[in-house]
Chain A
Amino acid sequence: MSGYPASMQESIKKLNETRDFRLKQEIPRLPFAEREKLLHAHHPDYRASANAEVHLGPNKGQKLTLKLVQLLEAKSRLDPDKVDLNKIDYDVDVLVIGGGGGGVAAALLAQENGAKVMLTTKLRVGDSNTIMAEGGIAAATKEIDSPERHFMDTLGGGRFKNKRDVISALVHDAPLIVEWLKGLGCMFDTHPNGDLVVSFAGGHQRKRVHSCKDLSGMEFMRVLRDEMYNRQIPTLEFSPAIELLMDDQGNCSGAILLNMETKQYYVVRAKAVILATGGIGRLHPNDFATTNHYGATADGLVIAYRAGANLLNMEAIQYHPTGAMWPHQMLGQLITEACRGNGAQLVNKNGERYINELETRDTVSSANLREVQERGNGIITPMGTQGVWLDTPLINIRGDAGKLDRMFAGIVRRFGEYGIDVRKEPILIFPTQHYQNGGVEIDPYAQTCIPGLYAAGEVSGGVQGINRLGGNSLLDIFVFGRRSGTRAAEFAKKRKVGKLTLKHVTEYNHQLEQLGISNDVESPLLLPNYMREDIKQVTLK
């Protein structure tokens, strides 16, 4: 028995009937100007409710994504007057905040460069967006490819809003990163001759995404975490940073951490700080479902902003074109782009294609939204939600009978549990929030505008412009994780920490009061609250 109700099977019949035709059908890519038109009409960033003006801080007067503005305009969850800065709990050269791929890479390199390092994180080390990455990491390693081509694709993908010096660093380091990961013992997909397997992702002109089955991020994360334990770098878990510390010379000089289990706070003094706290998905921008992990609540943006760091492109959120729409239990979970990279097509209720599947994500998501919301071509589920088909059986048809099981075992298994055989039936999908394109502005060495503060990975801004290409984020976190670790260690050698202060927090709270802004939120948020609404009303603090 199929996991799809009869009402949805009607449309699957049409999809089957048009498959032979679709296999031969070529849909040309949209010229840049056409893409812009589609985005302005359908991308969620252009909805009137998407963004709001922020009234204080470095980006004052600019429009940023609404859910972030609500946190930037909230009071700190820390009362600076209640903290004793004379009692130092940890004293280190480099403090890394965030235990995803970016943070762990930074910690390894800072230690290699002679620094006394500590890493602190909100959940366990590895509970992160990194561990969820499926598709893989982009790098121009093939002969027919080059860093120039990679540069061009990344810049156009980002709609020419990326910082060019930063992406020059990104494409330069990319092959070196693959070599580094391989050297640490990551189990890349490999051809019988020893060459690494590469796949397409949208917006890339060459196949350049290096994978470890459909668990690429998990493989990188567990290897790097193991390496960090091997090198005995101290780590603190369940201890998020809730504010940064400055010194009287205006340098970033550590952080206040909160032990979420005991509620004790810790004062960490550091000569340099690396922020690697990841993304924003659990704020649910535009009320979309998200692919992100539980801790993706924009904490790093909030604490860096209060300390005076400017944000770049924070009006731009990435919606992944293919989030699961059915079964409802999997709502919003990622169906990797590698499916399209290996030949799966997008199909509406009439069995028709409507976009080249290897366009950039902003474009494909907008086309999906247009198909459902404007053209009425979505497939309706028993929950009343709608989506379009991702024709996964094509992967085996275009490849070989075992390809889905070999490369996408996770997808086969997860849908199999709900009675859906993705080798024979398509997957119902809809855009889902996936990635924070912007963040704390960095330079090619991952330095922010605050001396002593570095940022790496999804929390940073400038690398991806206003739309990231598939495979470019795992690359980003390792390139700038490594660069930040090296730089922070060098910076730490040269400096002495002055008198610690939280004055920036006191002043920020004061400004909010003066502006008359008050909401009952405190930030950073740390964790989302998914209790059901009527229970929230009757719980005691």
Chain B
Amino acid sequence: MADPITHPVQLVQPDGRRVFDREHAALVSDIGPDRLRQLYEDMAVVRRIDVEATALQRQGQLGLWPPLLGQEAAQIGSAHALHPDDYVFCSYREAGVAYCRGVDTSLLTRLWRGVDHHCWDPADINMTNPAIVVGAQGLHATGYAYAAQLDGAEIAVLTYFGDGATSQGDIAEALGFAASWSAPVVFFCTNNQWAISEPVHVQSPTPIVRRAYGYGIPGVQVDGNDVLAVLAMTRWAVARARAGGGPSFVEAITYRMGPHTTADDPTRYRSAAETELWRRRDPIDRIRRLLEREELWDSDFEDRVQSRCDEIGGRVRAATIDLPDPDPAQLFEHVYTTDHPLIAEERRQYAAYLAAGESDAPPIAEGVRA
């Protein structure tokens, strides 16, 4: 077998030709024409959601958005490896994963518009809300997985995080706990080459996946712009977890095509040539070429995908614009699960203050950063 680090697993080449790799291709041998087209459609829809949300931010409808442009294959490929009863612990960039898990797309922008701290009800799609504190979710996933194992549930837990996050103690500790407990957790690292302005080598001089080896956790590098390869290797890891094989690590090598968030300016730290190089490896173009080669592409299909993109894009836009500003009473809700005298007093006082008309509380935002 080729060195998995110098040769990340790849099943489709950038020009759409299949790679001869019998071992890994076997993991996706059941993916026929319909499922291939579904993968394409999901990637196209997710790109549309992302482009729409980015535009909404530029138009002042969202405070912030973390684009996932270029990372569609990593998200859609991995999400397709999961069952509905598996559980996902995400970072802030996994809107595409949420889509695959069936989120109501009208909820995707709530947090980023600033009306709420959450987007969806985690129980609806077995997926946590966006985690802003980098790396924290790795430990949560490990604890959840261990608990599921104690309960005798045959599920896998998958946690997403970036290459930068692997520098956090929380991720290192999560690897240690998961290995010690043999917990059914999949560490899915989206190595998009950058942590805001820091290239991946600031985090680690050796390939990220090697970090897992030190804990005795098997891992694999996969071409993160190849949706089939990502699906295959995530299936491998998920199957291991479900079968009681313990944790594993998947490093998806991909690229963040856009800014870190809409507040970021990537021209300050990376070259246009680098971005251009990756544009040629675009994950959606790749599967389209595969479909064309395998004669699964026709104008009917193209139109169908287009109208699905328009429908969902329009839905995200309308839902965002229609979101009203929250009632100030929401400030005091759900701080505790039971009555709390201090909160009750503040709620009363502030309602009286507003009723007395002392303040129209003008908007104070002076700019948005993250």
Answer yes or no: are A and B bound together in one complex. Answer: no
A residues with CB within 8 A of B: none
B residues with CB within 8 A of A: none
